[in-house]
Every structure is written in C-alpha cells, then in structure tokens.
Structure 1
C-alpha cells in the first residue's frame, strides 16, 4: 500500500509519496516542494 499526500499551491497540484517525498504526479515549485518534504 502506497502512502501519499496531495499538495496544492497556487496553480500547482502534486501527489507526493510518504516518507520519500517523491512527486508521483503533477508539479510543485522547488521552494514549496522543500517545505512539503520538511513537513513529512
């Protein structure tokens, strides 16, 4: 079973794996992706 979360920022949407922090689908600016990775 894969664990993931959905992250949204402005016009960007991404599905990000937990705990790896890999973007599985969509896009997210690098600066915001770093914030998501720090959170997980």
Structure 2
C-alpha cells in the first residue's frame, strides 16, 4: 500500500484505540497485528 490505513478509532472518544481496548475483542496476536503499522 502506498498510503497506510487510518488507525482504528474508539467510537466513544474518537481517539486511536489502544491494545488494552482491543484486547476485549481480539486475542493478543491479532491485537498486535492490527496495531502494527511498520510491517509491510
């Protein structure tokens, strides 16, 4: 991708979601993959 996708936003705060917030929905491995913006 030429442009990185926008970060996931918390609908309540409209700020980027943290690993802790995503931990309730996804397993740890998927949280790390979702928040990793450096690996191609």
TM category (shorter chain) comes to 0.3 to 0.5
- Say which structure is richer in strand: 1
- Say which structure is richer in helix: 2
TM-score between the two structures when normalised by the length of structure 2: 0.36
TM-score between the two structures when normalised by the length of structure 1: 0.36
